[in-house]
Amino acid sequence: MSVGGLVAELTAVRHGQSVANVAFPAARAAGRLDAGVSGRDADVELTPLGRAQAAALGRALAAEPPIIRPPEVVVCSPYLRARRTYEIAAEAAARGGLALPEPVIDDRLVDRLMGRFELMTRAAIDARFPAEAERRRASGQWDYRPPGGENFPDIARRLGALLTDLHHDHADRRVLIVAHDAVVVMLRQLVEGLSYDELGRIAAEGGIRNAGITRFTRDGDQLTLAEFNTATHLAGVSADGAA
């Protein structure tokens, strides 16, 4: 991706572990249709481990040397799990002597919108809407758009507009994004021009870690990947906050 003005550095962090990150794999493993997570996806909370991961991120930003150069601009998803991740990280960084910027909340950083199927398990969707399961198979995982929701090209469009604004408004500055796994994946596609096959290999290798760091740095007139899914700052972190 090459544009006129560029941020100096773009770092994307996935939120800490959420209640849904635990509940959905557990439901799948047990063969349950219901993951037991109700309400809105935007309101899903962090788990105790997720809060500990967020605090570890803040400590790592305030460490000497820091895990990355501290951001000058922070842009955050409006979803609770992302906002709380940054709030906890900022509090931990402040205890370490580093004042982080106030975040800007941007709706373009929401997680993938699932529309009618929000917070439904794949098994429940397949059981209740068999025609949708067939449509998903025909479209493929990247192009499938659930009713009222988004496919991955839709996510790329909103993130492309966000990147254009970041480059224009924050050229030569270090920008931190706190958001979701779909956002991190599609940022890689936008910045690096990855194919869906390449994105599929990323997913097959375990996906995006909670509180993991992905960073792009400016190289001439473009951004290049400097690190992906870094989680060294999370070594030994446990739900009781120990590290």
**What is the 3-state secondary structure of 181-224?**
HHHHHHHHHHHHCCCHHHHHHHHHCCCCCCCCEEEEEEECCEEE
Please check whether residue 241 is in contact with residue 57, taking contact to mean a CB–CB distance below 8 angstroms.
Answer: no
* Fold designation for 9-234: Rossmann fold (3.40.50)
Q: Which SS3 state, helix, strand or coil, does residue 14 take?
A: strand
The DSSP secondary-structure symbol of 235 reads: T
The helix/strand/coil state of 236 is coil
| 117-127 pLDDT, tens digit each | 999 999 999 99
Percent of the chain with pLDDT over 70: 97
**Is residue 243 very low, low, confident or very high in pLDDT (cuts 50, 70, 90)?**
low
Q: What is the DSSP letter of 232?
A: G
Stated pTM of the model: 0.94
H-helix or E-strand spanning residue 105: strand 104-105
Q: What residue type is 6 in one-letter code?
A: L
Q: What is the pLDDT of residue 203?
A: 83
The reported pLDDT for the residue numbered 1 is 43
Under DSSP, the state recorded for 45 is P
State pLDDT tens for residues 52-65: 999 999 999 999 99
